[in-house]
Amino acid sequence: MNIGRIDLNLLVYLDALLRERNVTKAANQLGISQPALSNGLRRLRDLFDDPLLVRTSEGMIPTERAEQLQPVIRDVLSKVDMAVQPQADFDAANEEHLFRIMASDYAESTLFPHLLQRLRREAPGIILDILTPSDVSFLDVERGKVDMVINRFETMPQSFHQKGIWKDHFACLTSIDNPILKNFTLETYMDAQHVWVSKTGMGIGVGMDPHDVQHLGWVDESLCNIGKQRRITVFTRHYQAAMLLAEQNDLLVTLPSRAAKLQRDNPRVAILEPPFEIPPFELKMAWSPLVQHNPAHRWMRRFIIDVANSLLAEDQT
């Protein structure tokens, strides 16, 4: 292929088409007419000698060739965008900017109060739109509709950039009136009634099955590895709700240590170490290649890591 035949606009068109998989939506995103984009798609098919997108009953589906091209085109456009961006850094102290961030309830409870406190002091023009995992799909992030996601992830698209924020262990939270405090062992742990709290992954949530250990998370998988299964009587996706339930004297909550420590000044609950080993997990942030080189986005990523590192340093003092 003669590189002189390539119109850069066509690559922009193809990138939008592969993200939206719909000519009308892609045209609206690009601010051009549908006929103009349809004409662009015809030129792209001639250029690559491939249909690229095929109309089916489920919508437009990319061909194998198009799927191979997608990460390459994104990389090319990202580098071009970086080359033409102004070199000035993002002036967070004086600029206004809206960031849409999907955060798990755990991250929102443990990280965001400190993040917001520093933002108000150092970057008062920054506005955060905090979304829940059920609000967002990986496709939303991939398309740049959401700036970043902060959660514990079992899987993630390979094209995403990611950065670890911190690792955390687990703790148990229960009422100071719970008789289990007199003899907290694996046996009494198994005899207790438990509150399950977690929300990993993304997309619309579904109801939990108490017997589906593989999908219950770290705590239950760890118990399964030693041939145990706890009795879960309450399922919740909200750490604040779980911590309130821990005040009832017949319930036990096993949750990340940083969440449990939010209750250390609560005289109605006690914090205990689990009587069995649970592997630590890592809180991560991830974002699309589309925003990798954006100055404001780079600033926010550095700011989040700086806040997290400050909290980690406080733990060691």
Question: pLDDT tens digits for 124-175?
Answer: 999 999 998 888 888 888 888 899 999 988 777 878 899 999 999 999 999 9
Percentage of the chain lying above the pLDDT 70 cut: 90
Residue 266 is predicted with a pLDDT of: 95
The answer to whether residues 74 and 24 belong to one domain is: yes
pLDDT of the residue at 237? 82
C-alpha gyration radius of the chain = 24
In terms of C-beta distances under 8 Å and separation of at least 24 residues, what long-range contacts does 13-18 make, across chains too? 13/37, 13/40, 13/41, 13/44, 14/44, 14/52, 14/66, 14/69, 14/73, 15/70, 15/73, 15/74, 15/77, 17/41, 17/52, 17/53, 17/60, 18/53, 18/62, 18/66, 18/69, 18/70, 18/73
The rounded distance, in Å, linking the Cα atoms of 137 and 121 is 32
Q: Are residues 288 and 160 in the same domain?
A: yes
CATH number of the structural domain spanning residue 217: 3.40.190.10
End-to-end CA, the chain = 61
* Per-residue model confidence (pLDDT) at position 179: 94
Asked if 44 and 109 sit in the same domain, the reply is no
Domain final position from 56, 84, 112: 84
- Residue 92 domain flag: no
User: Distance between CA atoms of 262 and 239, rounded to whole angstroms?
Assistant: 10
Number of domains the chain contains:
3
SS3 content of the chain, % helix, strand, coil (to 5): 45, 20, 35
Domain shared by 194 and 221, yes or no:
yes
Is 54 among the domain residues?
Answer: yes
pLDDT at 88: 62
Residues 63 and 192 in one domain: no
User: What range defines the domain where residue 35 resides?
Assistant: 3-84
pLDDT band at 218 (very low <50, low <70, confident <90, very high): confident
Shared-domain flag, residues 160 and 290: yes
> Contact 303/97 with Cβ under 8 angstroms?
no
